[in-house]
Amino acid sequence: MPTVMICPEAQLHKPAPYVDILQEGGFDIIYPKDPTFTRGHFSDNDTIDVLKSCDAVVAGGEVFSESVLESLPKLRVIARSGVGYDKVNVPAATRLDKVLTITPNGNYDAVAEHAISLLFAITKNTIANDHTTRNGTWIRSLTRPLRGTTLGIVGLGRIGRSVATRAGAMGMSLVATELYPDMSFVETHNISLIPIEELLSQSDYVTVHCPANEDTYGMFNKHLFSLMKKGSMFINTARGSLVVENDLIEALNSGHIAGAGLDVFETEPVDSNNPLNQLNTVVLSPHVAGEDEQSTIDMGVEAATCIVNLYRGEWPDDAVVNKELKDNWSW
């Protein structure tokens, strides 16, 4: 019987549909002894030791380096519970005939909801108002509106479109930048597609929803932050590697950017000495945008279904990253 390890912390040791799918598909399910394994802080050798008996893995944030992949000859499928795969060496996985899948349909609404929640938190002073109300200060300062303002969406994929739907319903004007836009969606939701430089100069709020890759690494740097409208605000629920954190901190300290809502960071977990922790214009969350009660189940089901389908010889086209393996791959 093939073995699959379920790694994401939110999916450990729980009766859930994805467990049923794997068991009914003929898999023995195991879990890492250390529930924090999925956070990606294990050494290569320790990662190899944890996964050495696995034929497949429902993966979270573990690092699949070339040396890890080369040392796991039994591993056939890495099924990411999520859409990011920047911690997997895709060329090495492809060379070693290991299929990498993602869950493109599992959590885009959850991420969009979290982005909107951060937008509310920083515009409506939610955290500060809670604190002052609790301590009896009772400071009734004015907050910023969302209706009638412009939201700039960097990346109009599934998550970006989900954000656009919600923001448009609140009366925000929408501008976006996207290499491969769904023009029917763009026209239906009255979105203006413009270059990123124009987007930054026009937007009252900027929210980032593009993948982490060589082209986007550090794209939000001192130059792009300088192009943002003075007093605008910045939301990132995508990946920390998209942002040069020190440049963002400088823009926040100068007041050029009035606030930020961040779910992702250059280094995770965030160090206690990170200057972001000292800024009252920032609202932070611990990379949880894609994981709510429903999306965790949906991602698990999608990942488990990919594993079972591949085991049965069925190719999940929409979910496979290294599609070039299709014609010659078998379990």
**Three-state helix/strand/coil letters over 82-97:** CCCCCCECHHHHHHCC
Name the token pair of 152.
Answer: 């700039």
Q: What is the CA radius of gyration of the chain?
A: 21
Q: Is 239 a catalytic residue?
A: yes
317 C-beta neighbours (distance < 10 Å), count:
8
Say if CB 286 and CB 303 are below 8 A apart. no
- Residue 153 CB partners (closer than 8 Å, separation 6+): 160, 163, 164, 167, 174, 175, 176, 177, 191, 207, 209
Catalytic residue (choose from 209, 287, 291, 302)? 287
pTM for this entry? 0.90
Q: Which fold does the domain 108-284 belong to in CATH?
A: Rossmann fold (3.40.50)
Dist. CA 58–CA 82, nearest whole Å: 10
Tell me, which fold does domain 3-106+292-328 have in CATH?
A: Rossmann fold (3.40.50)
Q: Decide: 265 and 245 in contact? Cβ < 8 Å.
A: yes
Per-residue pLDDT of the chain (331 residues; tens, 9 = 90+): 999 999 999 999 989 999 999 999 999 999 999 999 999 999 999 999 999 999 999 999 999 999 999 999 999 999 999 998 999 999 999 999 999 999 999 999 999 999 999 999 999 999 999 999 999 999 999 999 999 999 999 999 999 999 999 999 999 999 999 999 999 999 999 999 999 999 999 999 999 999 988 899 999 999 999 999 999 999 999 999 999 999 999 999 999 999 999 999 999 999 999 999 999 999 999 999 999 999 999 999 999 999 999 999 999 999 999 999 999 999 9
**Is 198 one of the catalytic residues?**
no
Q: Which ranges of 29-171 does DSSP label H, i.e. alpha helix?
A: 44-51, 66-70, 90-95, 108-123, 126-134, 158-169
The single residue of 76, 80, 161, 239 carrying the catalytic annotation is 239
Domain parsing of the chain, residue ranges: 3-106+292-328, 108-284
Q: What DSSP character marks residue 206? A: E
pLDDT of amino acid 176: 98
Burial (CB count <10 Å: 0-12, 13-18, 19+), residue 148: exposed
Measure Cα distances from 194 to 179, 198, 202 in Å: 11, 6, 10
In b/e form, how buried is each residue of 64-100, taking b as 16+ CB within 10 angstroms? bbeebbebbeebbbbbbbbbbbeebbbebbbeeebbb
| Selection from 182, 121, 16 nearest residue 6 by Cα | 16
Same CATH topology for 3-106+292-328 and 108-284: the answer is: yes
95 to each of 99, 199, 322, 330, how far by Cα in Å?
A: 10, 40, 10, 14
Residue 152 burial class via C-beta count within 10 angstroms: exposed 0-12, middle 13-18, buried 19 and up: buried
Catalytic residue among 66, 198, 250, 268: 268
Q: Is 223 a catalytic residue?
A: no
